Amino acid sequence: MGGVPWKRVELVALVLYALGFYLVVIRRSLRLSHDYSGRLYGLRAGSLAGHLNDLSDAQWRNFRGNLPILTVVMGAFLIVVNTLRYCHGLKGQGTALLWLILSLSYLYYLHGACVVFILLISLINYSIVKLFAHYKYCTSLIWSFNLSVLILNRVYEGYSFSSFGENLAFLDNYRGTFRWHICFNFVVLRMISFGCDYCWTIHSSHFDHKKHMQRCQVCYSGKTCYFALQERGLNVDRYTFLMYLCYLTYAPLYIAGPIVGYNAFAAQLEVPQKNYSFTQISWYGLRWILNFLLMEGMTHFFHYNSFVVSRLWQKLSPFEVFIISYGVLNFMWLKFFLIWRYFRFWSLVGGVETPENMPRCINNCHDLESFWKSWHASFNRWLVRYLYIPLGGSRRKLLSIWVIFTFVAVWHDLEWKLVSWAWLTCLFFVPEILVKSLSNKFQASSSLGMLVHREFKAIAGAMTISCLMVANLVGYVVGPSGIKVFISKMAGKEALPALAFIFTTFYVGVKLMFHIREASSSQG
């Protein structure tokens, strides 16, 4: 009991510091957005108190602009599917055929004649899987084909019909409203998932469902969790071309995910998800609307992303560069949070549960491992199942992270700044893995030992967040070409007070995270 009052005093001090920090950041952000508004790119007429709206991010601008028509399409598709599904008792192949017809019409609107490329590559991948599934090297062949497709799509920018013959050149005028090879990155993940799931099912699945039920509250209650759906192999006759095409083109998840494994998807076409009730899904949608309003407020008052696009960070002080970088990370988190949750909501109403992509706020992660489990979490699960475990899992962790993050960078785009970001992240990941390994062996028994261990973890967490900030600065703000300017700006004597304040802030943030985790575990 003697430690409780001390922890309460610490918590009050930490909260007061955090409030002061955010007050400083908000005031400085408002001033920067006001002072530089005439020199920032991507600002549009806003709808809040006469403020300009930061729409400099193309992905957010397109999503926000197409939201009305997208919502109409979502409503129409769900009414058709759910009505026919429940009136005629459609399951499995019947539901797959219905979704495939609707999804292909959706793809034709997005990509026009380029749907041919999607169907052709999908057919080749399916043929490879079915022809070589019984051979041990099948998964290697699947990976090789899909990596080649991923790279070639980018190099040739989605190809042109004229390159296949002048008589096909007219089709280049009907390429739709959205570049197909950008969306196809997600299709590549699904093609690999289908192929590996099928091969592993043929060579026997090692998933112990009874053992899993003892540890999983969802499965123990009589339902089936996503993990069990993903790991449990299906009957071989469920890996059909119809189900495969439906999986690749499934409209609710086609543009941005979240990523769902083939086993889990096909199982839920047969039996719709029951883990989320109507009330829970409705509350999920309402929370999305509230977060969308938060984003509107953020882009109207704080023009973080526009500073990056305008490359004005070089004219700012070290502390102001930190504010813009911190703001950009929060903007990106909220942007992806809204996009991914919108499509997940669509999928849930359609009867397919997917992993939550943003289960934890970006400001509540103090190590790289928890950060990547909470940022694009469905992709993280995909990487663990189809890349990390086949590469050797924890036995080869120090080696496999380089392969995984390089793939993640290439999967996003063929840009050196993304490869630089990936390798920097790995470079910072290695010390964390080693420190965690040593920390797990250390068991503090005395109060002093526990205090020292806690402080050590807080300092290590602050260092990790600093490294994460640097990696994301290179990847999303300054780029590889701006590293020298950034280092010279941060290495000067005038930057030392700002750097000390930033590190102290990260330290305080980590200590607050400790309190949040402890409160959550005590409630659980």
Q: Are 15 and 261 in contact (CB under 8 A)?
A: no
Look at residue 92 and tell me if it is in a domain: yes
Nearest to 429 by CA among 454, 450, 453, 408: 408
Same domain (yes/no): 248, 364: no
Same domain (yes/no): 507, 364: yes
Same domain (yes/no): 242, 368: no
Same domain (yes/no): 368, 270: no
Same domain (yes/no): 385, 517: yes
Going from the C-alpha of 263 to that of each of 244, 270, 343, 349, the distances in angstroms are 11, 11, 20, 19
Look at residue 56 and tell me if it is in a domain: no
Same domain (yes/no): 266, 141: yes
Look at residue 64 and tell me if it is in a domain: no
Same domain (yes/no): 267, 371: no
Same domain (yes/no): 141, 248: yes
Look at residue 445 and tell me if it is in a domain: yes
State the virtual CA torsion across 471, 418, 379, 381 in degrees, nearest 10.
-60
pLDDT in tens, 54-74: 999 999 999 999 999 999 999
Look at residue 501 and tell me if it is in a domain: yes
Look at residue 295 and tell me if it is in a domain: no
pTM for the structure as a whole: 0.89
Same domain (yes/no): 80, 218: yes
Sign of the dihedral defined by the CA atoms of residues 351, 352, 353, 356, in that order: negative
Look at residue 315 and tell me if it is in a domain: no
Same domain (yes/no): 404, 510: yes
Q: What's the structural domain count of the chain? A: 2
Same domain (yes/no): 191, 82: yes
pLDDT in tens, 202-235: 887 677 777 888 788 888 888 888 888 898 888 8
Same domain (yes/no): 119, 266: yes
pLDDT in tens, 134-186: 988 899 999 999 999 999 999 999 999 999 988 999 999 999 988 999 999 99
Angstrom distance (rounded) from CA 466 to CA 485 = 18
What range defines the domain where residue 104 resides? 74-278
Mind listing the pLDDT tens digit of every residue in the chain (524 residues)? Answer: 444 577 788 889 999 999 999 999 999 999 999 899 889 999 998 888 788 999 999 999 999 999 999 999 999 999 999 999 888 888 889 999 999 999 999 999 999 999 999 999 999 999 999 999 998 889 999 999 999 999 999 999 999 999 998 899 999 999 998 899 999 999 999 999 999 999 999 887 677 777 888 788 888 888 888 888 898 888 899 999 999 999 999 999 999 989 999 999 999 999 899 899 999 999 999 999 999 999 999 999 999 999 988 888 778 888 888 888 889 889 999 999 999 999 999 999 999 999 999 988 888 887 777 787 888 899 999 999 999 999 988 788 888 889 999 999 999 888 777 888 788 878 877 777 776 666 666 655 666 767 777 887 888 888 878 877 777 676 666 666 667 777 777 777 778 888 898 889 999 998 998 888 887 766 65
Which of 278, 309, 330 finishes a domain? 278
Which of 278, 301, 327 finishes a domain? 278
User: Would you state the structure tokens that stand for residue 69, as one six-digit string?
Assistant: 């028509």
Going from the C-alpha of 488 to that of each of 491, 493, 496, the distances in angstroms are 5, 10, 12
Look at residue 252 and tell me if it is in a domain: yes
